[in-house]
Chain A
Amino acid sequence: MNYVLIKTSELTELLPLRCSYQTELDLQLAIQSIGLGSKGSNQTQYLNYGPQLQSPHLEAVIARFLPEIDYASLFMILNHEKLKTCIQSNVLLSHYQIPPTNHVMKTLERSTAWSDSTLNWLLQKKIKPHEISFLNLLSAAECNQLMESMGSSSLSKMDSLKLLETASELLLMKIDISAALNTQPWNEKTVVEIHALRYPKSFTFNPVKQIELKWPKNISTQTKRIQDKMGYQVQFFVSHPEELTQTLSQLEKVVPDWASKLEKLNS
């Protein structure tokens, strides 16, 4: 088992300056919370002379001390000259629910070149390094460009990840996406444009998009994708049983029309 002798004051200096929880008190509480240095002289010893912590404990202390940590800070800790000898990267990463893969380490390393706003954006969206590890197949310059553009967007986490991945695939396919990339900030329109570039025939084989159905007047419909299925979301309002019977009867008339148009399309 590796041991490290670090004063708490020294540890706060080693730990990332980007994080806001940098007080001795916070660190002391973190040490106490895992059952170390919680009483009298032990605590004094930790604070004044530095704790002797077994490395699994040190990882737990760091995770408690910094419940949220940006990628660049994590990378700095894992590669710090003094800390890296006593911290097991997989143990520390597991505290943040991050799998310890080579791709994760590469993502963390690359993040040291990203601006604070991008790192903050990743923290706000709670994006884990393995969720964007597809970027590692790009050159560092391409990856940095995408991430810096992303940092200023207001897209949801799901749309952001979708956009990043689709854009990265297009770059790998050597398809020019500069027009879409240069339009800032990125928004829902950018997601649609990039998707259309990646999958120009996306809906050509989808009968729902190709068939026009005549729905009853009191029915509102919307084509919608749920996972691997494209279909209709059908909405209607009824106020008494007879009305429901009537509406269902009208809806039933759509079935043969839909079936015959589908058959015609497939023939």
Chain B
Amino acid sequence: MIADVPRRAPGSALEAQVRVISALFMRELLTRFGTSRLGYVWLIGEPMMLAVMISTVHWLSGSHLPNDLPTFLFYGMGYVPFMMFRSITSRGASAVTSNMSLLFHRSISLLDLMIARNLMEMMVCAAIVLLFILGGMLTVGEVPSDPALLILGLLLSALLGHGLAMVLGSVQVFLEFTERLVHPFTYILMPISATFYMVEYMPPEAREMLLWNPLVHVHEMNRWAMFGDRVVPHFDLGYVMIWVIGLNLVGMAGLRGARPRLSMSD
């Protein structure tokens, strides 16, 4: 029996990369959801509570959104993509420091850790978005006006979050205190990211300022994809792409520079 050792099948570099990421992905799935079922409930619970709360305030104050936009769906669909960006950023940024024991395996790179973790976060949040959309279709008969654009929008928030996570994660290796700044930073971003309003509702000077933020473009695009011509969106896809490419390149370079500085000594 002892002599009968399993043998490895040889494979290409790409296969090896996919293998490492899928192993990490499966592990991430187990550590995140394996122990408690409450995790799932809270994921859908948080955006639901928020959307219900804001809709209630709206209903009590007797105000309506323009063009009869469904309040609950408007806020829910505004918050979930932001939530995805935020959780990818904050969970991804800690991927390096909280997975040090995995770095004992030489084949695992920092980029692999990031991709596995963020891929899962993206899939989880995409499932929540799907639930919101299904809910909207069943209750108020709201069908997304451009589903393909909505998928692109979600992908872009995920990629922005992924890039920023890599940048923040590698900065933490050089300057440890920046770990504390990730959370406040994502909170500050919320009001200036057009999460709960449209740029169109703002005065012109404020619009200009807001449109520097790439997330604003993504959220505007998402709402247009969802509600069609009942909203007037302000977005520039090219501008978002520049941010996505920039953050991802800087992030990958940062991780590459950070790896030799990490020490596993206890």
Do the two shown chains form a genuine complex with each other? no
Question: Which residues of A are in contact with B by a Cβ distance under 8 Å?
Answer: none
